[in-house]
């Protein structure tokens, strides 16, 4: 009897994390992200973080939490649109390399070159030959990235089929989320198993010791965000640096003839008294 009870308790879903606890834990991680930022700038480190995953898994949400308290000049969010006519004639990896980090930069790819292993073959946007060539080449290409001194991290955010459906339904009813809906996105509901097969092959064929895939269970958005950020920080050998904060200067005296305020010619009205 005891074994059955333990088994049931182990299988029970976790309670939803309270927003206050989530925000408190997120704040601690965001402090660490600012320390990572200072270290990257000081050392000239180059970091690439790839975010892949099923539709509605929360890639954009976790990237937004990472970038919220850091400089966009250091943490660069890259979400490329579909390739232009010119880009279609380039080498496949070329458009992505244009966004690779210089010294002191962390580049966050919201979807990446792995489009050729997921979306493109499932939706028929590439040939079988192009897909097979990509899968042959990508491990060697990523080896070159790592050997050049770039820290490369790859995350795949995974959600269950019922949760994905619920999140799509929520996007249909929330006007703030309508922009997240497109025929391309909702097609992932119908093609769930096609995508499952493609992602399985992608991970098997490109999971290496120098550029492994890290799977992030993302049915619970808040825990997924905290777990991913915490793991990402653990994979980068940054160290806290003492902050060099400037002294606050004394305010200069107002010169004669200079009014204290700005000329009130066109003032935005206060609509929220």
What ranges in 74-216 are assigned the alpha helix state H? Answer: 85-88, 94-97, 119-123, 128-147, 161-173, 183-190, 192-206
Cα separation of 174 and 56, whole Å? 14
Cα separation of 147 and 159, whole Å? 33
CA-based nearest residue to 65, from 214, 225, 202: 225
Per-residue model confidence as pLDDT tens digits over 212-224: 999 999 999 999 9
Mean pLDDT, each 10-residue run in order, the chain (273 residues):
53 82 98 98 98 96 98 98 94 97 98 97 96 98 98 98 94 90 87 97 98 98 98 97 91 90 88 91
CATH 3.40.50.300 fits 17-234, yes or no: yes
What was the pLDDT predicted at 231?
Answer: 98
pTM, to two decimals: 0.91
Cα separation of 102 and 98, whole Å? 11
Cα separation of 171 and 181, whole Å? 7
What was the pLDDT predicted at 3?
Answer: 57
Per-residue model confidence as pLDDT tens digits over 222-233: 999 999 999 999
What was the pLDDT predicted at 100?
Answer: 98
């Amino acid at each position: 009897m005891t074994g059955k009870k333990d088994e049931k308790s182990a299988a029970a879903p976790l309670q939803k994390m309270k927003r206050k606890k989530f925000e408190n834990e997120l704040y601690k991680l965001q402090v660490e992200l600012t320390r990572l930022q200072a270290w990257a700038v000081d050392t000239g480190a180059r970091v690439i973080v790839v975010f892949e995953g099923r539709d509605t898994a929360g890639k954009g949400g976790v990237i937004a939490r990472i970038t919220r308290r850091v400089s966009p000049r250091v943490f660069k969010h890259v979400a490329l649109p579909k390739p232009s006519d010119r880009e279609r004639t380039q080498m496949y990896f070329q458009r992505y390399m244009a966004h690779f980090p210089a010294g002191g930069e962390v580049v966050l790819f919201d979807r990446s070159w792995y489009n050729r292993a997921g979306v493109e073959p499932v939706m028929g946007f590439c040939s079988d030959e192009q897909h097979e060539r990509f899968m042959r080449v990508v491990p060697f290409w990523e080896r070159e990235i790592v050997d050049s001194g770039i820290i490369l991290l790859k995350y795949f955010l995974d959600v269950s089929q019922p949760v994905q459906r619920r999140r799509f339904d929520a996007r249909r009813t929330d006007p703030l989320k309508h922009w997240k809906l497109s025929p391309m996105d909702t097609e992932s509901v119908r093609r769930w198993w096609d995508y499952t097969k493609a992602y399985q092959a992608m991970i098997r064929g490109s999971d290496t010791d120098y550029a492994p895939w890290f799977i992030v269970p993302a049915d619970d958005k808040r825990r997924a965000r905290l777990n991913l950020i915490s793991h990402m920080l653990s994979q980068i050998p940054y160290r806290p640096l003492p902050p060099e904060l400037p002294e606050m200067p004394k305010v200069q005296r107002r010169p004669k003839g200079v009014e204290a305020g700005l000329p009130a010619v066109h003032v935005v009205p206060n609509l929220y008294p």
